[in-house]
């Protein structure tokens, strides 16, 4: 079975972004970029399934600026077999992502697509569900476990009150949650090997997808700051403050 994995290039999770002075967005110039953490989990899952013998080929896909090639090389170093960059300078929104992946699925015919549940930059949490809907395939969002048996998948997914067990036929679109796995670190020999793996570059036009953003960002602002708090010396003072100043207990 072939697996398609999405990888997004985002601002590194440890960096606190700054809003630009003119309100046009956040400052991403000279900021460290990395693979979106949930996409790392997606790649790791595909690699583990290949190691276990249920997957034969892993194709990593990214959409965006030419520098996304670096993110794809990371996916290749983790164990993906080949990569596709759908190159565009336009702002990429989830509906367009879903349409690009749909076109690629029609071409590549994977048995499984694994995407991260959410990108940590725009925090949308949409693309996987949208892709599943456009393809008319089953959806398994926020998964913490997946097992393939024959032509179906047994899934455990995270829901608000606990866990849900789901059974679905392949092909399937799955989105990853945190506890699915812990991604491996890439090793130097694998980074060297990844340089030799194939990376195709195509344009959205070649897939017949219109990337025009549907949502217009009017302005981006800083969130309101919390007023400075105080250090209290001991439990007695804390209880006094909570009772008599904040009046919350």
Partner 1 sequence: MSILVIAEHDGARLKPGFLNTLGAARKIGGDIHVLVAGHQAAEAVAAAAKAEGVAKVLQADAAYYASPTAENLSALIVPLAKNYSHVLAAASGFGKNFMPRVAALLDVAQISDISDVVSPDSFVRPIYAGNALATVQSNDPIKVITVRATAFDPVADSGGSAAVESIPAGPDTGLSAVQGQELTKSARPELTAARVIVSGGRGMGSGENFKILEALADKLNAAVGASRAAVDSGFVPNDYQVGQTGKIVAPELYVAVGISGAIQHLAGMKDSKVIVAINKDPEAPIFQVANYWIVDDLFKVVPELTQKLG
Subset of 60-79 contacting partner 1 (CB under 8 A): none
Question: Which string of b and e fits 118-141 if b means at least 16 CB within 10 Å?
Answer: bbbbbeebbbbbbbbebbebbbbb
3-state secondary structure of 159: strand
- Torsional class of 125: left (φ above 0), alpha (ψ -120 to 50), beta (otherwise): left
Residues 16-55 touching partner 1, rule: CB under 8 A, are 16-17, 19, 26, 38
Residue 142 in contact with partner 1, rule: CB under 8 A: yes
Residue 235 in contact with partner 1, rule: CB under 8 A: yes
Between 65 and 134, CB nearer to partner 1:
134
Between 13 and 192, CB nearer to partner 1:
13
Least spacing, CB of residue 154 vs partner 1, in Å:
8
Report the residue from 4, 5, 7, 11 that binds partner 1 according to the rule CB under 8 A.
Answer: 11
Write the CA distances from 69 to 74, 92, 98, 149, 241, integer angstroms.
9, 16, 20, 34, 54
Residues 144-183 touching partner 1, rule: CB under 8 A, are 144, 158-169, 177-179
Residues 76-105 touching partner 1, rule: CB under 8 A, are 93-95, 98
Residue 196 in contact with partner 1, rule: CB under 8 A: no
d(CA 249, CA 231): 18
Between 54 and 125, CB nearer to partner 1:
125
Residue 244 in contact with partner 1, rule: CB under 8 A: no
Q: Strands 112-116 and 2-6, how do they pair?
A: parallel
Q: What are phi and psi of 57, to 5 degrees?
A: -145, 140
């Amino acid at each position: 079975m072939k697996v398609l994995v999405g990888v997004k290039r985002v601002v590194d999770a440890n960096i606190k972004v700054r809003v630009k002075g003119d309100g046009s967005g956040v400052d991403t110039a000279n900021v460290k970029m990395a693979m979106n953490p949930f996409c790392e989990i997606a790649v790791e899952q595909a690699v583990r399934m290949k190691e276990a013998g249920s997957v034969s080929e892993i194709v990593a896909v990214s959409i965006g600026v030419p520098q996304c090639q670096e993110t794809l090389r990371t996916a290749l170093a983790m164990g993906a077999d080949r990569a596709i960059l759908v190159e565009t300078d336009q702002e990429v929104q989830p509906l367009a992502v879903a349409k690009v992946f749909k076109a690629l699925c029609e071409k590549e015919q994977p048995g499984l697509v694994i995407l991260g549940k959410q990108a940590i930059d725009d925090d949308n949490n949409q693309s996987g569900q949208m892709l599943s809907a456009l393809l008319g395939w089953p959806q398994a969002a926020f998964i913490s476990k997946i097992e393939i048996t024959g032509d179906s998948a047994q899934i455990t997914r995270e829901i608000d009150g606990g866990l849900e067990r789901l059974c679905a036929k392949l092909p399937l679109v799955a989105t990853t949650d945190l506890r699915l796995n812990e991604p491996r670190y890439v090793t130097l020999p694998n980074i060297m090997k990844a340089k030799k793996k194939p990376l195709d570059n195509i344009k959205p036009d070649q897939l017949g997808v219109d990337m025009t953003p549907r949502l217009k960002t009017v302005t981006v602002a800083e969130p309101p700051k919390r007023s400075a708090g105080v250090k209290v010396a001991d439990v007695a003072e804390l209880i006094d403050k909570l009772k008599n100043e904040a009046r919350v207990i």
